[in-house]
Amino acid sequence: MINTAVKQEFGSNPLKVRDTNHYQAEYVHSFVDRWDQLIDWDRRAESEGDFFIRLLQEQGARKVLDVATGTGFHSVQLLKAGFEVTSADGSPVMLGKAFENARKRNHILRTVHADWRWLNRDVHDYYDAVICLGNSFTHLHDEKDRRKALAEFYATLRHDGVLILDQRNYDAILDHQIEPRHNFYYCGDNVRATPEHMDDSLARFRYEFPGDEVFHLNMFPLRKQYMQRLLHEVGFQRVTTYGDFKETYRESEPDYFIHVAEKR
């Protein structure tokens, strides 16, 4: 169903909203329009460099499914680099914006509207790689949804396929009360992204834009080792975790972890 709401709606007690389906109501048009201001494409491309392109090339990947297309940043980067890309997302608002963004850059996105939990109902093909980037997997609030989504990602991969999934370093925030520097993905000017509330099952982030426009996202704070365990448990044989695009790092330092989960 297309979310035509103008304003985000978290009800009278926003801290109670811990629901996997709620992402649809969080990505309202006005927030999606602001998202690209939050994620400055040029600066993001500069900070990521060719990290994902190299990873995919090392894995011999050619055909990629972007399951968390959002406004299209990675889909477009990969199309530019010559990969064959299918762009999926559970939010039609996001997919619309991604299509428009790609058109402006002379690319036509092949889009699929699909929720990860039922991905293979809408995606009927096999891929060398599935990417789930930009701290997206954190939107799943229940463990059964996380397991279901990973199983669906696994099923759409070829026998030697790879899943690349990233997450914010929630361990650092939960354990050390460190406020992340958010200089990797949230590169836009004049945007403040701060954790407004953290507990073991909720990370509520506040996004402030110029003109006092404020949005929120209620997410599940994934711990790194928990995520690695889940990936192994659904069947991935090898999981390598990078910290802010580097193979070696101190646990509390990175803002983001990137898991590369290999099926073979």
Contact set with ligand SAM (CB under 6 A): 23, 27, 39, 68, 70-71, 73-74, 89-91, 94, 115-117, 133-136, 139
Q: Which is nearer to ligand SAM, 73 or 170 (CB)?
A: 73
Q: At what angle do helices 51-58 and 73-80 cross, to 10 degrees?
A: 60
Give the three-state DSSP class for 117.
helix
Are the C-beta atoms of residues 251 and 228 closer than 8 Å to each other?
A: no
Tell me whether residue 61 or residue 187 sits nearer to ligand SAM (CB atom).
Answer: 187
CB 241 within 8 A of CB 228: yes
- Which lies closer to ligand SAM via its Cβ, residue 21 or residue 237? 21
Task: Tell me how far, at minimum, the Cβ of 21 lies from ligand SAM, in Å.
Answer: 8
Give the residue at shortest CB distance from ligand SAM. Answer: 134
**Tokens encoding 6:** 């103008």
Minimum CB separation of residue 264 from ligand SAM in Å reads 25
Q: Are 195 and 204 in contact (CB under 8 A)?
A: yes
- In DSSP terms, 192 is beta-bridged to 208
Q: How far is the CB of 3 from ligand SAM (least distance, A)?
A: 10
CB of 181 to ligand SAM, least distance (A): 17
Nearest CB to ligand SAM, comparing residues 146 and 224: 146
45/187 Cα distance (integer angstroms): 10
